Chains A and B, each alone.
Chain A
Amino acid sequence: MPMDARDIEAMIKAALPDARVEIKDLAGDGDHYAATVISEAFKGKARVQQHQMVYAALQGRMGGTLHALALTTQAPDN
């Protein structure tokens, strides 16, 4: 079952309250998203760890309910 973009954003923000989250519906089908997440929490973390933190926020939905979420993570520039 697809997930609503607002639900994805809410779950990420619940785990990373300072995060700036931008979600694009890539195919317009509510099933293929691209998310950009910017958070202070990513500072000093490797990309794999940053993605793990977002996956943890999504509580197991990644790879299951959410099978197509392209993810970009970064710490704020300054």
Chain B
Amino acid sequence: MTDARQVIDNEVKSNDVVLFMKGTPQFPMCGFSGQVVQILNYLGVPFKGINVLEDEAIRQGIKDYSNWPTIPQLYVKGEFIGGCDITREMFQAGELQQLFADKGIKLQQSA
């Protein structure tokens, strides 16, 4: 395992909800990343954002890790859920809310 892969694997496994994104949850640097942040914030899901723009090894490594060519990438309890389009579709269908409930992720009261 390369260093980047180990770092990624550790983040995915030690955080309930992780979003690999461009920019930070406070300042997304890409519209797709921003959309996923908005959805998670709307639902009141606590999550860790990892800015791939800060580390080229992570940026490429996460694509190899999931065999998924784009960023953002959402992981819940170690499972790869999808990118922006899938997250949005699931949210609109109520499936994302169900997923968090099924996985026992506690939602905070959204502001």
Q: Decide: A60 and B85 in contact? CB cutoff 8 A.
A: no
Per DSSP, are chain B's interface residues mostly helix, strand or loop, or mixed?
A: mixed
Q: Decide: B67 and A52 in contact? CB cutoff 8 A.
A: yes
Best-surrounded residue of B67, B69, B82 (most CB of chain A within 10 A):
B69
Q: Render B67-85 as a binary contact track against A, CB cut-off 8 A, 1 for contact.
A: 1111100000000111111
> A48's contact among B63, B69, B71, B81, by CB below 8 Å, is which?
B81
B86 within 8 A of partner (CB): yes
What is the number of residues of chain B that contact chain A, defined by CB distance less than 8 Å?
16
Q: Decide: B90 and A70 in contact? CB cutoff 8 A.
A: no
Q: Decide: B82 and A47 in contact? CB cutoff 8 A.
A: yes
Shortest CB-to-CB span from B27 to chain A, Å, is 19
- Chain A interface residues toward B at CB < 8 A: 47-48, 51-52, 55, 60, 62-64, 67-68, 70-72
Q: What are the 9 tightest A-B residue pairs by CB atom distance, in nearest-first order?
A: A63-B69, A62-B69, A63-B70, A47-B86, A71-B85, A48-B82, A70-B85, A55-B69, A47-B82
- Chain B interface residues toward A at CB < 8 A: 32, 63, 67-71, 80-86, 89-90
